[in-house]
Amino acid sequence: MSISSEVSSEQTRATVNIVRNTWPLKKIQALFDLPFNDLLFKAHTVHRENFDPNAVQISTLLSIKTGACPEDCTYCPQSVRYDTGLEKEALMEIRAVVDAAKEAKSNGASRFCMGAAWRSPKDRDLNKVTKMVEEVKALGMETCVTLGMLEDSQAQRLKDAGLDYYNHNIDTSEDYYGEIVTTRSFQDRLDTIDNVRNAGINVCSGGIVGMGEKNDDRAKMLQTLANMEHPPESVPINKLVQVKGTPLDGLDGSEDIDSLEFIKTIAVARIIMPKSQVRLSAGRSEMSDEMQAMCFFAGANSIFYGDQLLTTENPSESSDHKLFKRLGIHPATI
Ligand code: SAM
Ligand code: DTB
Ligand code: SF4
């Protein structure tokens, strides 16, 4: 190796070290401890420096394989272990998926997200999903899938099909995780995220709040995301949708997350991941317009649009249309 190339690789390493985020927990906790107005002002300033503050990215979700999942995620209506009355459905036909994507596009969605209730996909499932990705992409939309745990070769197959984003959430802090899921570890989730990143696919990863976690768990969850070698391009913040029959149904008020705490979580995510899209994800059906407006001010700039998430309710298209109009928000373009 020549001296000049040694120097440049040192420089590269040094640059990487400087650029890489290493948010200490104390600094994240200090953000949560700021007076509400100071935190929101800071978050909104960061938001304006990085994004059009009046543009919100619109994604539409479709459940391409529903229910009968072997995993035990205690929040999830699709686990076979809980009696939630959900009708299971096999993997959809490609044509029906493409038709749904066309409709989503005509309603203004720029990204189409396809979700499957799998622990991990089988290679034969991927044959079909890669075709779905190719065809949805050909419509001029961004594509996203969430299929469970992925091996690196599977991530590569999805990349080759042209996949733009893979969603895989860390769900909560590493400390609290064991209370929520036992059938896959926190490290399994990080490994899948690494496989997605190494294949060159954009990472969509966030979590769920309102599952009885403490304030510090939310700070730690955000710390894990922000301190990744490359933070996720998209960070969904879900508010738990309590579904009858799941173990997390019926948490009492003291375990639910306070509205202002939720807005603060969005604000802190915006500050420590300034370049990421922060998605105001599940739970919007139970939020007022004013609450959502505060979340957008705090830095949320992406939503799921369409009256259904995967299996649960989302605000209707017409109510979101009205909300955008009232707030002077326009859909972000790709
Ligand atoms: N089966 C795949 C997996 O878990 O990786 C993909 C689909 S799974 C339903 C996608 C994500 O939806 C979960 O990781 C979880 O964060 C979120 N989710 C599921 N049920 C939810 C609920 N009741 N409320 C809020 N978010 C939920
Ligand atoms: C994410 O973070 N939230 C979406 C998406 N990624 C796949 C899913 C929310 C699911 C809410 C429960 C349901 O509708 O089944
Ligand atoms: Fe299965 Fe995903 Fe639901 Fe967990 S979150 S039970 S892996 S569908």
CB contact at 8 A, 161 and 188:
no
Q: List, in sequence order, every beta strand (DSSP E) within 104-197.
A: 111-116, 142-146, 165-167
Interior CA angle at 306 toward 252 and 64, to 5°? Answer: 90
- Provide the pLDDT for residue 176: 97
Predicted TM-score (pTM) of the model is 0.91
- Provide the pLDDT for residue 20: 63
Give the active site residue among 76, 189, 197, 270: 76
Ligand 2 within 6 A of CB of 227: no
Cα(214)–Cα(208) distance, integer angstroms: 12
Expressed in angstroms and rounded, the spacing between residue 76 Cα and the centre of ligand 3 is 6
Phi, psi of 36 (to 5 degrees): -50, -45
- 19: Cβ–Cβ under 8 A, 6 or more apart, which residues? none
Please confirm, yes or no, whether 76 is among the known catalytic residues. Answer: yes
Residue 105 CB burial class (10 angstroms; 0-12, 13-18, ≥19): middle
pLDDT tens for the chain, 334 residues: list them.
Answer: 333 333 333 333 344 444 567 999 999 999 999 999 999 999 999 999 999 999 999 889 999 999 989 999 999 999 999 999 999 999 999 999 999 999 988 887 889 999 999 999 999 999 999 999 999 999 999 999 999 999 999 999 999 999 999 999 999 999 999 999 999 999 999 999 999 999 999 999 999 999 999 999 999 999 999 999 999 999 999 999 999 999 999 887 667 789 999 999 999 999 999 999 999 999 999 999 999 999 999 999 999 998 889 999 999 988 999 999 999 999 887 6
Cα(178)–Cα(13) distance, integer angstroms: 35
Half-sphere exposure of 27 (CA within 13 A, CB side): 11
- 166: Cβ–Cβ under 8 A, 6 or more apart, which residues? 144, 145, 146, 150, 155, 158, 196, 201, 202, 203, 204
Cα(235)–Cα(267) distance, integer angstroms: 12
Please confirm, yes or no, whether 295 is among the known catalytic residues. Answer: no
Ligand 2 within 6 A of CB of 241: yes
